[in-house]
Amino acid sequence: MKFVAFAFLIFLLAACRSFAAPPNILFAIADDQSFPHAGAYGTTWVKTPAFDRVAREGLLFTHAYTANAKCAPSRACIITGRNSWQLKAAANHVPFFPPEFKSYPEALKEHGWFVGCTAKGWAPGVANDADGKPRQLTGRPFNARKNKPPTSGISRIDYAANFEDFLNAAPPGKPWCFWYGATEPHRGYEYQSGAKKGGKHTTDIDHVPAFWPDNDVVRNDLLDYAFEIEWFDLHLGRMIKLLEERGLLDNTLIVVTADNGMPFPRVKGQEYEMSNHLPLAIRWPKGIKNPGRVIDDYVSFIDFAPTFVEVAGLKWSDTGMAPSPGRSLTDIFNATTGGLVNPARDHVLIGKERHDVGRPNDWGYPIRGIVKDGLLYLENFETNRWPAGNPETGYLNTDGSPTKTEILNAHRADKLDLHWTQAFGKRPGEEMFDVRTDRECLVNVAGLPAYAAVRESMREQMIAELKAQGDPRMFGQGHVFDDYPYADARTRDFYNRFMNGEKINAGWVNKSDFETPEVERQ
């Protein structure tokens, strides 16, 4: 009799849990912020009190990686739970988003959630359904409220005020999901705004990566970058305060991260450590045990969608979303210790296809890689595409900037300039770095005998997993990624037209993305 009573009690507890109200979800994503550029990680020249609070009262992740270090493909991985090589055209930058892939905000909306976003959702590109109607991949836009930004490079959208409008519009008693997509610290920056308006000093920066010149131009560029991260964090703090005032904070799952690494040479658009390794903090008092933990497990951006679906009380099979190789983070939420929580989370896969700005024939520069146990292995495909048509073009897939111009000008004066070689020079077929001691990925150890066994083991694991995930490039079909057109007509065949002397205003493409013509510092 006691056993029956006990079993019935367990049943009641399980039933109560299954019908418990799911948390609200606030997903906050900066635009181009590398790890470890937040106060919680010990960076002193970037002030991020809101991020630090989320980490302090939740979880701070030390090994979070995007699968693809560029805006559109990274965000596609987030919303679908699939790696970019599983997303057809959405593997590329500025694509037509394939209609067959559903996003987690769309799935939540179908299951009764109130879903919205402000500023930059999935972008840049075009997302239409099978009938050609625009889709809201990250929810209904809330962008009406504006403010006066402190610099010319910062958006006029008042992110926090628009979040308040969203909260006011949310039906009482209905769970909600909000995407806060700042456009900072994406370029362009107002040069020296960090020093002149942020009260920062170039001496505040304790280290300049060795693949850039260490001078006042580069240091000011870094301070301007930090100033814009702080703007993102300021609005996050206002959003947290709004939740606190409304009694919603404790049952809101807050995830704070960035889409890819900083918009500097050898970082954004590449697949090195600083390109893909990103900040991540998660807070949810009602769902995270023993908050304040630091998590060293390797987690991927494809883990976000499965996490949100699970905490929403849904099964993945109920969402209509394509299968995901991602894994919900709730195992980490439910653990009580920090450090390495789940031994199975010992690696992530990364890679890229076409997000090069204006390469000949719109071809990309494809890469696949694996990060495991403090080592990064990369396989560079199609290395014959460099130099592409013009020996002066290099591998310039990163935003125009003072730092980039410094490197380009030095290369014009000295063709043997090491910074240009490191940032834009030709890559070998294989690269491997011990990021435990070489976070800047300066010493390629792929050919060293001491690393031969682990290099081959990592490559075999990477290839096996990519094949299991149906990566076309593993089956000799990599050309499909080059065949997908840019969604922005101005960008198609930009390089060939530009080099033939055509005057083109391509919006986000800068003249400084090329060695010619001569450019001035922005």
- Least Cα distance to 125 among 162, 95, 87 occurs for 95
| Per-residue pLDDT, 265 | 94
Residue-by-residue DSSP string for 118-132: EE-SS-SSEEB-TTS
Q: Do residues 151 and 227 touch, judged by C-beta distance below 8 A?
A: yes
| Per-residue pLDDT, 400 | 84
Cα separation, 48 vs 279, in Å, equals 12
Cα separation, 338 vs 193, in Å, equals 38
- Which of helix, strand or coil describes residue 7? helix
- Least Cα distance to 184 among 220, 154, 212 occurs for 154
Give the DSSP letter of residue 146. Answer: B
Cα 91 to chain centroid distance, Å, stands at 13
| Per-residue pLDDT, 6 | 42
| Per-residue pLDDT, 64 | 98
Q: Do residues 295 and 77 touch, judged by C-beta distance below 8 A?
A: no
Going by pLDDT thresholds of 50, 70 and 90, the confidence category of residue 391 is very low
Give the DSSP letter of residue 302. Answer: G
Give the DSSP letter of residue 102. Answer: P
Summarised one tens digit per residue, pLDDT across range 281-335 is: 999 999 999 999 999 999 999 999 999 999 999 999 999 999 999 999 999 999 9
Domain-by-domain residue ranges, the chain?
21-348, 349-513
Longest dimension (CA), the chain: 89
Neighbours of 399 (CB within 10 A): 25
End-to-end CA distance of the chain: 79
Cα separation, 158 vs 518, in Å, equals 37
- Least Cα distance to 115 among 48, 177, 44 occurs for 177
Q: Which of 3-17, 317-331, 367-381 has the lowest mean pLDDT?
A: 3-17
Going by pLDDT thresholds of 50, 70 and 90, the confidence category of residue 2 is very low
Summarised one tens digit per residue, pLDDT across range 482-514 is: 999 999 887 888 777 777 777 766 554 555 555
Fold assignment, 21-348: Alkaline Phosphatase, subunit A (3.40.720)
What pTM, to 2 d.p., does this model score?
0.93
Going by pLDDT thresholds of 50, 70 and 90, the confidence category of residue 176 is very high
| Per-residue pLDDT, 496 | 75
| Per-residue pLDDT, 506 | 53
Going by pLDDT thresholds of 50, 70 and 90, the confidence category of residue 137 is very high
Q: Which of 107-121, 139-153, 379-393 has the lowest mean pLDDT?
A: 379-393
The pLDDT of 109-136, averaged and rounded, is 97
Cα separation, 498 vs 80, in Å, equals 35
Chain-wide mean pLDDT for the chain? 91
| Per-residue pLDDT, 363 | 87
